[in-house]
Chains A and B, each alone.
Chain A
């Protein structure tokens, strides 16, 4: 896993895509969403990272002939229409990039604490509650299993490789 930093261009393009991909209640989280995307990309293979970055640059520049400005500078309505064009896919590559942007940004959007809270997802307290229950209600069984994992139980009882070794040396 390596650290990944967006270039200034890709960061700007991604920020401009937040209103297109994420629900309105997440728009104020654009900075955190784009930062989270960098973490996700940092865990991806270098080829995926490079392809995604190149795709974003192409997406940005591709708006010039259609709208006379880069994608990151489009009005909200034009940005919506431009993304939809890629989504429908003049070529499969356009559609794949649009899908990848949607997937990665949706993931990052719903990894934000505010969005998890909004949909009622609160795993931390739940994990604590069930962990506590396991170690109290089932404590004896848990201990028994731990002991079983470490207890001697040879696959071939009576066979010792160490004995072979001693015999061979002797």
Chain B
């Protein structure tokens, strides 16, 4: 059978996307709405408003890459798509390494594509604690709309790789609840490159869904433009000023509504360096991170973790206790850097790469950290709580038990100086000796909560629709809005909130157009 021509949306840079190569001097633009950031929140809100007839400009700090630009060169992809090459740290003991996308499409370009609705218990908590009455009811049609748009679906079975079937084998052997992951994908074929830009176009990131949709309805995107500050007249936001990467040319956008959608680390910094203050004093506070740790299991049989869909299943047995497990294939270079081994020992270990299964867990955290703007740049501070460290330790023991039940022969652990586990009994004995928080190697891709929604302006940064309290025409549209961590992957919640809040803007269009 002949190979079809590359899909329409995978083509070269579409009209409406301008980059530093198109900006030859200082530029002044007028728009109804300027959106800072083109990820899950920014692209969704922009597409909905553009379709309703608003004149929308999106400014994105990162470059524009199309699907064809996503190659098998892992480190090149990390350098191009991740902020600071993925080397961003929240300071604490231990420091927490976190990753953010920095490209048109934002972190949706590099995430795993897990698409879950906000759990009911979380929405009930938001209603109760943040005064967001009716949010569960409001979000229901938004979830449906988002799921249709980004094609949320279970995986095709033939795209699931050995690592994920082994995870399922272990969960079944233990009698634990495991479910097929819902992901924003249209016939994912298991290239297992989600974290480095989907090279097949199957992952329906904002880059291939909401961004082209926003363009279709007339939005304009300026890539390579870092927004320095929000312009203001008194308490009213009147636009933004940014700098073009490379040339240093300035871009000013005058707008009737300003939307900060730069993620939970950069949005509070942008608000702070623009001089906005919240009556709550909480801009940048309430940072949650869903700390994440990984174990590596070695099997006798080939696992070939790089073939097959990323995180095809999730173990949900312990979700009520804040723990979710999944298998995550990674290239050898990323695994090698996670091991303390070196020299011949590293070589001997890595020679078994084909038999390795990398499994990770997400922990719903109880601690909160803070983002501070230092010289205008954000710096995150986060101290892993001992209670969360104890939960991680329990999770590692349980996950290791599961992997031994699946047939693992040896398990390498994510904390300093730990001996490898050789059996399920070793895994259970892990709990005998508490491992202090400082001993863990923790990473995350879920940053939330730093401009939280809430009715009470003395406790929340934004109102129930993402408008900054005590400011005018200034809105937030990213995971900063979450009043609490949500215990599942946040992308769909961000998109659903952006949809709901876009509806509010459309309903009050006259006010925003005046």
Contacts from A to B (Cβ < 8 Å): 1, 19-26, 36, 39-40, 42-45, 48, 80, 99, 102-104, 106-111, 115-116, 118-121, 123-124, 126-127, 130-139, 141-143, 145-146, 148-150, 152-156, 159-165, 168
Contacts and interface: CB of A to CB of B under 8 A. Distances in A.
Contacts of A42: 79, 85
6 contacts: A134-B189, A134-B201, A135-B7, A145-B186, A161-B52, A164-B510
Interface stretch (B209-217, B364-372, B389-397, B420-428): B209-217
A164 B71 CA distance: 46
Given A43-B86, A142-B7, A165-B53, 11 more contacts: A24-B344, A39-B75, A44-B84, A120-B354, A138-B187, A143-B7, A145-B186, A148-B151, A155-B506, A159-B52, A164-B513
Q: Would you call the interface of chain A mostly helix, strand, loop, or mixed?
A: helix
Given A20-B343, A131-B200, A149-B212, A155 B187 contact: no
Q: Would you call the interface of chain B mostly helix, strand, loop, or mixed?
A: helix
B51 interface: yes
A106 B213 contact: no
Interface string B5-44: 0111100000000000000000000001000000000000
B346 A168 contact: no
Interface in B176-201: 186-187, 189-191, 193, 199-201
Contacts of B190: 130
Interface of B: 1-4, 6-9, 32, 48, 51-54, 71-72, 74-76, 78-80, 82, 84-88, 145, 148-149, 151, 159, 186-187, 189-191, 193, 199-202, 204, 208-209, 212-213, 216, 304, 306-307, 331-340, 342-344, 346-348, 350-351, 353-354, 499, 502-503, 506-507, 509-510, 513-514
Contact of B189 (A26, A133, A145, A156): A133
A102 B347 CA distance: 13
A108 B73 CA distance: 12
B85 A123 contact: no
A107 B334 contact: yes
Given A126-B191, A127-B72, A164-B509, A44 B53 contact: no
B155 to A, nearest CB: 13
Contacts of B202: 134
Nearest to A41: B85
Given A1-B79, A123-B193, A159-B506, A146 B7 contact: yes
A108 B76 CA distance: 11
A14 to B, nearest CB: 14
Contacts of A36: 75
Given A107-B333, A148-B148, A135 B4 contact: yes
A131 B346 CA distance: 33
Most buried by A among B53, B76, B78, B354: B53
Nearest to A17: B342
